[in-house]
């Protein structure tokens, strides 16, 4: 069974306490552009939904009728070629806004890689919200700019970095994201499989696995469990990630 609510569920509250007011992801999502007083307006347009691991909830090429805001869990965003080759363009976790596209069809697919909770906005309802709350639009533009910067960084990775550098960049980014969320440990947990890491980094499963093994053999990381990585030498990791010593052999 896929149960998706490991935290206490707040059921059928009085109308005054909207689900938006209780949302853990609010402060880190675009919704923080809406003042507390206006949260009910927001809550009226946002329909909470839950998807089990493996469920596809955005499909490339389909009519783009809805926007989503992830409040819990992680989804992979990806594009595919007709013969099945897949490129994951990003992982969306709590606070991530999905569907930013002017076109009337989705440009990518999205699938839950662990139980995902999100809020759904219809295109039309979002338009009304944007007209009523210019701050929300500003916030959305900011978000889009940040994603653009991340996308450029990923292009550098995919176009010019070696397998070692790609995996180091991936781990380095994850550590930084965890730190930004207040988790300052040296261990990160990876909700995605090796196959998904490979599809994100433009590599194969085997190369990802071998590179993990080599990092471990070099004493730079440990692998406490299948989905945990402990970074032993963060400076070294960041150095490799940024492409220093491409041809050094230390």
For binding to DNA (CB under 7 A), which residues are involved? 162-164, 193-195, 202-210, 212-213, 223, 225-227
Min CB(162)–DNA separation in Å: 3
Residues binding a copy of itself: number (CB under 8 A): 45
List the one residue from 138, 185, 189, 195 that touches a copy of itself (CB under 8 A): 138
Residue (152 or 189) nearer to DNA, CB: 189
17 binding partner (options DNA, a copy of itself, none; Cβ < 5 to 8 Å by kind) = none
- Which residues are bridge partners to 187 per DSSP? 230
* Cα–Cα dist 89/223, whole Å: 25
**Cα–Cα distances in Å, from 152 out to 89, 117, 146?**
11, 28, 10
Strands (E), 20-146: 47-51, 56-58, 66-72, 75-80, 86-92, 97-98, 109-112, 116-122
Residue 180 CA, distance from chain mean position: 14
CA distance 103 to 95: 23
Angle between helices 163-180 and 194-201 (to 10 degrees): 110
Residue closer to DNA by CB (options 117, 165) is: 165
Q: Cβ 218 to DNA, closest distance in Å?
A: 13
Which of the listed partners (a copy of itself, DNA, none) does 83 bind, with a CB threshold of 5 to 8 Å by partner kind?
a copy of itself
Nearer to a copy of itself, 160 or 224 (CB): 160
Nearer to DNA, 133 or 212 (CB): 212
Q: Which is nearer to a copy of itself, 131 or 218 (CB)?
A: 131
- Could you say whether residue 81 binds a copy of itself (CB under 8 A)? yes
Cα–Cα–Cα angle for 105, 111, 115, rounded to 5 degrees: 140
Element (H, E) at 221: strand 221-225
Q: Is 204 helix (H, G, I), strand (E, B) or coil?
A: coil
Interacting residues with a copy of itself (CB under 8 A) = 77, 79, 81-83, 85-87, 89, 100-103, 107-108, 134, 137-138, 140-142, 144-149, 151-156, 158-161, 199, 201-202, 242-244, 246-247
């Amino acid at each position: 069974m896929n149960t998706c609510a490991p935290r206490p569920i707040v059921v059928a509250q009085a109308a005054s306490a909207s689900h938006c007011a209780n949302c853990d992801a609010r402060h880190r999502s675009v919704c923080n552009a809406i003042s507390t007083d206006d949260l009910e307006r927001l809550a009226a347009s946002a329909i909470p939904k839950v998807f089990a691991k493996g469920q596809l909830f955005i499909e490339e090429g389909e009519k783009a009728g809805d926007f989503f805001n992830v409040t819990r869990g992680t989804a992979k965003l990806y594009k595919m070629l007709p013969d099945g080759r897949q490129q994951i363009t990003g992982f969306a976790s709590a606070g991530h806004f999905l569907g930013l596209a002017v076109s009337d069809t989705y440009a990518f697919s999205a699938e839950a890689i662990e139980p995902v909770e999100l809020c759904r906005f219809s295109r039309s309802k979002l338009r009304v919200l944007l007209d009523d709350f210019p701050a929300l639009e500003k916030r959305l533009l900011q978000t889009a700019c940040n994603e653009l910067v991340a996308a450029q960084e990923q292009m550098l990775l995919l176009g010019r970095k070696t397998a070692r550098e790609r995996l180091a960049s991936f781990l380095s980014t994850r550590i930084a994201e965890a730190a930004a969320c207040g988790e300052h440990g040296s261990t990160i947990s990876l909700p995605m499989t090796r196959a998904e890491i490979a599809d994100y980094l433009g590599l194969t499963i085997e190369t990802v696995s071998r590179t993990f093994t080599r990092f471990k053999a070099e004493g730079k990381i440990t692998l406490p469990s299948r989905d945990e990585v402990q970074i032993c030498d963060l400076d070294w990791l960041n150095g490799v990630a940024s492409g220093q010593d491409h041809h050094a052999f230390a």
